Structure 1
Amino acid sequence: MTIKLTLELASGQSLKGAPLELLADGVPIARAIVDNQGQAAFDVNPEAAQLSVRVDRSILKTC
């Protein structure tokens, strides 16, 4: 199964190149990198779990 996301920040900052992790019940099961259009895709096996996405925000610049 492929899970596709489009990410957009209200501040207008780009998330291009941001590392993402897909978590199943709090455990990382897949990784992806945000592309030029703000999109990322995770290829995973279907399973019953609470899914969430974590982004490494340390790469974002602050003003």
Structure 2
Amino acid sequence: MTIKLKLELASGQSLEGAPLELLSKGVPIARAMVDERGDVTFDAKPGVAELAVRVDRSILRSG
């Protein structure tokens, strides 16, 4: 199953390159990156569940 999202920040800032996770019951089931237009496409197994999206927290770690 393909899930497509369009992300737009009220501030006008770009999220390009931000890693996102698609969650089912709080568990990541797919990952994707925001493209230059703010579009994100997740590929996930079909099923019935409540879904949520979050920024992959690994980008917050300093290296």
Q: Structure 1 length normalisation: TM-score?
A: 0.85
Alignment length (residue pairs): 59
- 2:13 matched residue in structure 1: 13
- 2:45 matched residue in structure 1: 45
Aligned: 1:3 with 2:3: yes
**Once the 2 structures are TM-superposed, how far is the Cα of residue 5 of structure 1 from its aligned partner?**
0.4
Deviation >3 Å, runs of 4+: 56-59
Moved more, 48-57 or 10-19: 48-57
Gaps of 5+ in 1: none
**Once the 2 structures are TM-superposed, how far is the Cα of residue 58 of structure 1 from its aligned partner?**
8.5
CA distances 1:2-49 after superposition (whole Å, capped 9, x unpaired): 000000000010000000000011110000000000001001111111
Q: Aligned residues: percent identity?
A: 73
Q: Structure 2 length normalisation: TM-score?
A: 0.85
